[in-house]
Every structure is written in structure tokens, then in C-alpha cells.
């Protein structure tokens, strides 16, 4: 977007596309962003049609399916599941077509903020060459590498959430028939939850998001064996992957939820996961990243073209960056609570609260859709249910405190 406005933009990308990445489930609110970027047709060509999300609980006889078409705003009735190596390549090639200079295989190593407000980035190419880039503004879109947050030492574990993920791709997993084939399925189990994300060409992404104490039980087992044993402990999921073949290496990531103390300075911004990451149960990651990129393009244009308006623009950017994680996190912190699980598995639309909840699941939290009164009512009903069922609420609170306690990382990822 900045290159299209005529700015000299350089993108330093440590990998070479296409490359594997996790996070394949998109939200309906992504689709208007694809249109703005001019990549809607390309994404449609590689995307698995996703009309909704399914939740499966071991404590309920039937699954619950949420259809995006039933959300408050009926104009975004579907999304896509994508293989990220294809999706990300579409985006970076589009940036180059718009005029950005893309340097692949080039890893940023150091950054210097000078007194004259310029920024110098030192980088190393994968052939051993070194280079320096001087800019008026720096964008940190380094994802979970958190380039700036690590250097500023402002990245912190989220004290209200603490989970890890183990994941891989399968070929031949059992899917639903018809349009429901592309629905993401969330399976709750005793130690967290699983994602099941169907993609094109018969490949399905499966991931286990679990608490650190359960990761510690891996012991001497290989990561793959631990992952498959975890799947076996969730019968509903095990039935879906029975006979399927793993086609990727099983990988794990820890410190899954974190936030940086700030997301901008006078001449830099931190986007998406480079600023904060929350549990992916609602597939919010790509939307938050892309939405922050859209906002960043506007604020950088303002800072460089109209410096007198820079402070106000950066303040608006900060509010928007904090808004997304805040709105999703309220639900994420409570989604494993027995009372909230009942709400998800048997939703009612009194005061349009189900439509408002669906709007959150669709990512429709940045526009003008009037969902906020209904969401406040939903939250009030939830708090009231906790008062009415104090034993259930206390048991859920104690279990969550047990789940999120810190466990030594060194004991978790020495696979």
C-alpha cells in the first residue's frame, strides 16, 4: 500500500518463498482486505471455502456449528482455509508488483535509531553478503521472531494465558461432505484443544494447543509420538485422522501468548505477532496482522507527509492495535471454562447475542457493525451465570490457575 502511494519501500524477508508456515485459517473480515490489495482472485484460487466453524466437546452429545452467514453483518458469509506457503507468496509477490523492493533470503541482524530520526538496519544475505539500509520509518512485521520487542527487551509472557502448540499436516483425514468440508473444527480435550483445518489438495492441518504442564509429560517420547498420543486421547479427533498420513515434520512452539509494552515509536511500528500474540482458537492471527498492516500504511503516510499530525495518528494506531487482542482475549481466557463452554455449545440469540458472538468469530470488530451492546449483554449473562453457579465457577477458576502456571521451557522443547 505504501509502495502504491509512491514511497520507496524495501522488504527484508529472511526466508525464500514459498516456505512452510502455520496459521492457515482465515476469517470473513479478511476478504475485504484482499479486495483492497487486489489479490482476492488469487486467494480464492488457492483457498478452501470455509462457511463456518465447528466446536466439538467431550461433554456434549452433538457438535455446535456456527455459520458466518448468521452473523450480524450478512455481507461476509464465508472465509478460506489456505496453505500459508501459497498465501504468503501471493502477498509478497503482490508487494513487489506494487513497487516494493523485496529482498528474500535477507535477515535483519541489527537496528540503529539515529538522533536525526533516521533508522539503519544491518542485514545478512543467505549467501553471506552483508548490507545496510537507511530509512525514515521502520516496520517490524517479523511475527513471532519479535525483532524489535526482543531488542528493546519489552516482550513479556501474557500472565493471563500460557499455552504451547504442537502441529503437523495430514493427508487423507476424514472431512465433512458438501460445503461443510472446509469448516474449521475445534476439539476440546482434557488438556486444551485441537484445531482441524481442511485445505486444498487433501491436506489437513492439525494442531494441539495445550498447557505447559501437559507438554512436560512428553518425557522421552519423540515430539511426533507425543503428538499422536495426544490425538489418541481425543476420540472425536482420532476418528477423523484414522488412516491419515503425516506429510510434514511435527513441530512445536512455546511461549505461545505474549505482548510487548508498546507497538510504536516516532519512526517505527510493530505489526501483528511482532507486537502481541494470543491463543489462536478463533483464527484471529492473520486478520490482526493484515488489519495492523492496513492501519500502519495510513499512519506512516501521515507521519511522513504531514508530520504535524503524526502524534495523533500514532495514538489512533496504538488504540487499534490494542483493540483486537483485547476483544478476542476476553473470550479466549474463558473458552475452556465449563460455563462458557455451555454458552458455546448451546447459544441463544436473546438480544442478538449469538449474532454478535458470530461477528467476533468472523473478525468483524473493527468496522461499524453495532455489536457492542449485545456483547455487553452476553458478558453480563456470563458473569451472572458464574454467580448463580458458584461451585462450577470456582472449579473453573481453580483449573485455569493450574493450567496457566509457568513451567520451565527447557523441560518442554528438548525434543
- The model's pTM: 0.93
All CATH 3.30.9.100 domain ranges of the chain, comma separated, are 49-80+162-256+334-415
Q: Which CATH architecture is the domain 49-80+162-256+334-415 placed in? A: 2-Layer Sandwich (3.30)
Instruction: Write out the DSSP string of 214-242.
Output: HHGGGTTS-HHHHHHHHHHTSHHHHHHHT
Q: Is the pLDDT at 406 greater than 80, yes or no?
A: no
pLDDT in tens, 248-271: 999 998 767 899 999 999 999 999
All CATH 3.50.50.60 domain ranges of the chain, comma separated, are 10-47+82-159+257-331
CA distances from 373 to 1, 378, 389 (A): 34, 9, 24
- Residue 405: per-residue pLDDT: 80
Residue 189 exposed, middle or buried by CB count within 10 Å (0-12, 13-18, 19+): buried
Q: How far apart are CA 116 and CA 121, in angstroms?
A: 15
* Phi and psi, residue 124, nearest 5°: -125, 130
In angstroms, how far is the first alpha carbon of the chain from the final one?
41
Homologous superfamily, domain 10-47+82-159+257-331: FAD/NAD(P)-binding domain (3.50.50.60)
Instruction: Write out the DSSP string of 281-306.
Output: GG--HHHHHHHHHHHHHHHHHHHHH-
In percent, the amount of the chain with pLDDT more than 90 equals 88
Q: What is the 3-state secondary structure (H, E, C) of 5-44?
A: CCCCCEEEECCCCCCCCCCCECCCCHHHHHHHHCCHHHHH
pLDDT in tens, 160-217: 888 889 999 999 999 999 999 999 999 999 999 999 999 999 999 999 999 989 999 9
The three-class DSSP label of residue 64 is: strand
Q: Which of 74, 75, 89 is nearest to 18 (CA)?
A: 89
Amino acid at each position: 500500500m505504501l509502495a502504491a502511494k509512491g514511497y520507496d519501500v524495501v522488504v527484508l524477508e529472511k526466508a525464500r518463498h514459498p516456505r512452510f508456515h502455520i496459521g492457515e485459517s482465515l476469517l470473513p473480515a479478511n476478504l475485504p482486505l484482499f479486495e483492497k490489495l487486489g489479490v482476492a482472485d488469487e486467494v480464492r484460487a488457492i483457498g478452501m471455502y470455509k462457511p463456518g466453524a465447528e466446536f466439538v466437546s467431550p461433554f456434549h452429545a452433538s457438535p455446535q456449528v456456527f455459520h458466518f452467514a448468521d452473523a450480524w453483518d450478512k455481507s461476509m458469509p464465508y472465509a478460506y482455509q489456505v496453505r500459508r506457503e501459497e498465501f504468503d507468496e501471493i502477498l509478497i509477490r503482490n508487494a513487489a508488483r506494487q513497487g516494493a523492493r523485496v529482498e528474500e533470503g535477507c535477515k535483519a541482524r541489527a537496528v540503529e535509531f539515529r538522533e536525526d530520526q533516521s533508522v539503519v538496519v544491518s542485514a545478512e544475505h543467505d549467501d553471506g553478503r552483508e548490507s545496510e539500509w537507511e530509512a525514515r520509518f521502520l516496520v517490524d512485521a517479523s511475527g513471532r521472531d519479535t525483532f524489535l520487542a526482543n531488542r528493546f527487551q519489552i516482550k513479556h509472557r501474557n500472565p493471563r494465558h500460557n499455552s504451547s502448540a504442537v502441529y503437523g499436516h495430514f493427508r487423507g483425514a476424514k472431512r465433512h461432505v458438501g460445503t461443510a468440508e472446509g469448516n474449521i473444527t475445534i476439539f476440546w480435550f482434557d488438556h486444551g484443544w485441537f484445531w482441524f483445518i481442511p485445505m486444498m489438495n487433501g491436506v489437513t492441518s492439525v494442531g494441539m494447543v495445550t498447557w505447559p504442564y501437559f507438554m512436560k509429560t512428553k518425557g522421552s517420547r519423540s515430539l511426533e509420538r507425543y503428538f499422536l498420543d495426544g490425538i489418541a486421547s481425543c476420540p472425536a479427533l482420532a476418528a477423523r485422522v484414522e488412516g491419515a498420513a503425516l506429510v510434514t515434520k511435527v513441530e512445536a512452539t512455546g511461549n505461545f501468548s505474549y505482548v510487548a509494552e508498546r507497538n510504536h515509536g516516532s519512526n517505527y511500528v510493530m505489526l501483528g505477532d511482532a507486537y502481541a500474540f494470543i491463543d489462536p482458537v478463533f483464527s484471529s492471527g492473520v486478520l490482526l496482522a493484515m488489519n495492523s498492516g492496513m492501519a500502519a500504511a495510513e499512519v506512516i503516510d501521515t507521519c511522513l507527509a504531514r508530520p504535524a499530525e503524526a502524534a495523533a495518528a500514532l495514538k489512533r494506531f496504538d488504540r487499534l492495535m490494542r483493540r483486537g487482542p483485547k476483544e478476542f482475549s476476553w473470550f479466549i481466557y474463558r473458552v475452556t471454562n465449563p460455563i462458557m463452554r455451555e454458552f458455546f455449545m448451546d447459544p441463544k440469540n436473546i438480544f442478538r447475542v449469538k449474532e454478535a458472538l458470530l461477528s467476533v468469530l468472523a473478525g468483524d470488530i473493527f468496522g461499524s457493525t453495532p455489536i457492542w451492546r449485545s456483547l455487553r449483554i452476553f458478558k453480563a449473562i456470563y458473569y451472572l451465570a458464574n454467580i448463580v453457579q458458584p461451585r462450577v465457577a470456582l472449579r473453573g477458576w481453580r483449573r485455569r490457575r493450574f493450567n496457566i502456571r509457568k513451567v520451565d521451557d527447557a523441560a518442554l522443547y528438548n525434543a
